[in-house]
Homo-oligomer: A and B are copies of this chain.
Amino acid sequence: MSLDGLISGPDPDMENPLGIRGARLHEWLLKLAVLREYVGFEGGEVNASTQVVEEWLSNLGASIMGRNTFGGFPGAWDREKPPWPGWWGSNPPFHHPVFVLTHYARESIQLEGGTSFTFVTDGIESALRQARAAAAGRDVALIGGAETAGQYLTAGLVDEMEINLVPILLGSGKRLFEGLSDDMHGLRLIRTIVAPTAETPTVLHLKFAR
């Protein structure tokens, strides 16, 4: 999230799925060795963010995302014949079952590297139930986007929330917290990490838990 509360910039399209300059929100993540290794690349940095990403990935069994996070900007993938396979390519970086919230029923997809996409049309609780079963005791991660996160937060179904706050402005785009109440459902800030170093901060990791 940017300082002005956005998780993407304006005018998302195929070349800039996170909108204009929105990719700046993920720069801290994409250069980390722990993330690069998870998605199959070598090299990268080890810094104060490493612990945060290790906590996210180390016990991960399944993920949940909204349809736009799966497959692009509003309206993009329903128009495609054959169906738009999503942003994530033939070997997605998840390597576990992913459950996609959508109003449009669709066959599951099994892809290289252990990633599957299962499309869930009967709501967030069903998606969570299926993801928990698939995770078999490991963690279920909520990838995004903002509406999906807001729905789970509002339903009181979020156990932990990590806000990766990048201290820049994007001006306009998609807000993370939009149309919610003031109810954090028992979540409170329990840990702050400044990265890569306290002297050269480019991201703040704010961990909320019950």
- Taking beta carbons and an 8 Å cutoff, which residues of A are in contact with B? 3-5, 9, 21, 163, 167-171, 175-177, 180-184, 188-190, 192, 194, 198, 201-202, 204, 206, 208
Contacts and interface: CB of A to CB of B under 8 A. Distances in A.
The 7 tightest CB contacts between A and B, nearest first, are A4-B177, A5-B5, A167-B189, A171-B182, A171-B181, A189-B201, A169-B182
Number of copies: 2
A204 B182 contact: no
Contact of A9 (B180, B182, B190, B206): B182
A208 to B, nearest CB: 7
A192 B182 contact: no
A188 B167 CA distance: 7
B208 A182 contact: no
A182 B170 contact: yes
Contacts of A171: 180-183
Contacts of A206: 3, 167, 204
Nearest to A5: B5
Contacts of A184: 168-169
A189 B199 CA distance: 9
Given A4-B5, A5-B5, A204-B204, A169 B183 contact: yes
